[in-house]
Amino acid sequence: MVPSVVALLVLAWATVACGPPRQAPVQATAAPTVTPEVAAPRLTIQFLDVGQGDAILVTVDGRRLLVDGGPSRDRLHTRLQSLGIRDIDAVLVTNPDADHIRGLIEALAMFQVETFYSSASTNPSATYAELLAAVAMEAGIQVVTLVRGQFVPLGGVQLDVLHPLTISGDRNDDSLALKLTCENVTVLLMGDATTTSEESMLAVGLVPKADVVKAGHHGSRTSSGEPFVEALKPAYVIFSAARDSQYGHPHAEVVARYLAAGAQAVSTDSTPDDDTAVLTSDCQTYSVSGRAVGGAAVTPVPGGPAASATPAAAPSATTTLAAGG
């Protein structure tokens, strides 16, 4: 056989036996990691540590409502400044007593407020007269008197007025009580409403199942009656009272009543530090951070994890719960 032909046959056999030349393996390229954007909470409620009084800052979709201002202008100023608050759209008075309104005078001095809400309840005190003078000096402010059946618009939600229907002349009985509903999350702000106020609401079916309630009258035994607490069955109850309250607020039997109903009792002033309690929510679930009243045992929430409220000696913690659970 001719040598060149032999060489060609050998080359052909090698190609068939060994296959085509191998290519270098292709290195797999990992897909870029996409970090999902975390949406800001639609709803934030800060139950401010103002001592023996009420002050609640509600923020919905960037709009802010200050419900009461506590008993001290300086203390409210400090709290708002520490939170970096630069504007407040509206203020609301649940009760015209000094422990609710003195701080509002400071808020009106700090910010250009668009709307002033209150009930028709008044007070002959010098502090109340000073508040009205501050409102009168606010350029372009709208003054709105609230009664049952009306609502306060805020961002994309509203606060329904549950009480009062009429004015009796007793400032606590006549306190405004509000229900904030943000889709699946319900919060009640009871001002200084009494058991008489509660009975009025219960009689017409205005006491809903709630996730969180700010207890009436700082946890006084004149509020938070058993029928009312049983109707609410909240996951959390917030007591806005001084840790050394001269009135003994919150009263032990009221705390026990809420605990027995499955709530977790949170205090806005249980240590010398700032004990402001905070609710944040996307309006589907919510979380509450704060300190428990007097180190009370934490009661698990049905359908959700244990509470975030912690004993006074322990650092605050936060737990996310499904609304209604």
CA distance 120 to 133: 16
Question: What pLDDT is attached to residue 218?
Answer: 96
Q: Which amino acid is at 135?
A: V
- Within-domain flag for 48: yes
pLDDT of residue 322: 52
Instruction: Rounding to the nearest 10 degrees, give the CA dihedral for residues 200, 205, 209, 212.
Output: -30
Residue 228 lies in a domain: yes
Domain-embedded: residue 112: yes
DSSP 234-295: -SEEEE---TT-TT-SSPHHHHHHHHHTT-EEEES-SSSS---EEEEE-SSEEEEEEEEGGG
CATH of the domain at 199: 3.60.15.10
Residues 6+ apart with CB under 8 A from 61: 42, 155, 156
In a domain, 269, yes or no: yes
Residue 124 placed within a domain = yes
Q: Which domain holds residue 152?
A: 39-322
The number of residues in the chain equals 325
Residue 143 lies in a domain: yes
Determine if the peptide bond prior to 164 is cis (ω within 30°).
yes
User: How many domains does the chain divide into?
Assistant: 1
Q: Residue 195 falls within a domain, yes or no?
A: yes
Sequence-ordered alpha helix ranges (H) in 94-194: 98-110, 126-136
The verdict on residue 227 lying in a domain is yes
User: Which pLDDT does position 294 carry in this prediction?
Assistant: 73
Per-residue pLDDT of the chain (325 residues; tens, 9 = 90+): 444 443 443 344 444 444 444 444 444 444 444 444 545 569 999 999 999 999 999 999 899 999 999 999 999 999 999 999 999 999 999 999 999 999 999 999 999 999 999 999 999 999 999 999 999 999 999 999 999 999 999 998 989 999 999 999 999 999 999 999 999 999 999 999 999 999 999 999 999 999 999 999 999 999 999 999 999 999 999 999 999 999 999 999 999 999 999 999 999 998 899 999 999 999 999 999 889 887 443 343 433 333 344 433 333 444 445 565 4
Q: Which two tokens stand for residue 86?
A: 């630069």
